[in-house]
Amino acid sequence: MRREIMGRSGITVAGFAIAALALAGCGGGSGSGSGAGGAQKGSPAAAVMDTSTIKAGHSKLGDILVDGKGRTLYLFTEDGKNTNSMNCDAACLKLWPRMEGKPHAGSGVDAGLIGTTKGAVKAQATYAGHPLYYYAKDRAAGDLKGQGIDKIWYVMNTKGAAIKKAVPASNGYGNGSSGY
């Protein structure tokens, strides 16, 4: 099964170079987030997002923030409070798409911590002042492939603090999913 997955997602050398450039555009380079099931052309299109809700999801890192479909949400440690200050080009935004709008609180989260960025053309969802992002290589609910990339991208607990520990390995790719 692993060989089949790797064969289907086999990206050419040029594809790896493009992915590396995309990571470099927003502070992402190498990190614990590498895996065989990468997004094609850096696009999150195959993964379903539900930006209407922020809720708690159980993961190998404890309870973390996820969207309405269970997709993991991340913070960028260099963003300002309630401000998206990340200098991110188009390739970077494909790899780290923003959670846009103002979602409602689902189970396990504090509605008072949900907000939006100020001064942005499109409001970006925030939690405890941290702008929220998806990672395009997270292909299913429970994926944690963006955790710890370049020591600036982390999942967040339900109190709004970054969880900075590594994801325990449970399969051949180093990142597991707990299912939601």
Could you give the residue ranges of the DSSP H alpha helices within the chain?
Answer: 2-8, 13-24, 90-95
Q: Is the pTM of this model over 0.75?
A: no
**Rounded mean pLDDT for each run of 10 residues along the chain, 180 residues in total:** 38 37 44 35 60 96 97 94 80 93 96 88 91 95 96 97 92 42
**32: amino acid identity, one letter:** S
> pLDDT at position 19, please?
38
> pLDDT at position 34, please?
35
Residue keyed to tokens 């939601």: 180
Q: Are 67 and 50 within 8 A, CB to CB?
A: yes
